[in-house]
Amino acid sequence: MKRSLFLPAVLVVLFLLPAAVRADGITVIGTYAGSDGATFSIDTYVQGSTTVGLINISKKVSITFDKAEWQSFVELWEKARVTQSNSFQFIGTYKETGTTYNSLLMMAAGPGVQFVINDESGTLLFVLSPGDYAKFDTDVAKVTATLSASQN
């Protein structure tokens, strides 16, 4: 009897595991849905002994931040989060380093926080709703903790 319960439990764990940790080294920390059908994700990516923060829009464009660069993203986010305006106000940019194509992140804030990512695949934007700010704060803190604990 115990054996018949063990196999389904293992299968459930194996089925659910790919949603959070995939074979390609990506751990999804948080995912957000836009009103236009776009998705926005904050993740960590591990390859060998290197761990980076990763932001992507609709799994089509992305930008990475190593441990030393992550604070730049946190500072942009914190500035954007407190900016209140009826129209989008420019917050700042971050240019990726150490890759074959140095992706560019541009942020603006107003009736939400607008993330624009340009990488070699193209340029996409996502607007994070003010109702998602608290969850995003938590997700940013999780990435910060993961990068702080990493060896690189």
Structure tokens at 86: 């009826």
Q: Which domains does the chain have, with CATH numbers?
A: 2-149 (2.30.31)
| Residues 6+ positions from 7 with CB-CB distance below 8 Å | none
Is the distance from CB of 63 to CB of 55 less than 8 angstroms?
yes
**Residue range 53-84, pLDDT digits in tens:** 999 999 999 999 999 999 999 999 999 999 99
Q: In what order do the strands lie in the sheet with 61-65?
A: 26-33, 39-47, 50-57, 61-65
* C-alpha–C-alpha distance, residues 44 and 42, integer Å: 7
- Higher-pLDDT residue of 39 and 150 is 39
**Residue range 83-115, pLDDT digits in tens:** 999 999 999 999 998 888 999 999 999 999 999
* C-alpha–C-alpha distance, residues 100 and 74, integer Å: 24
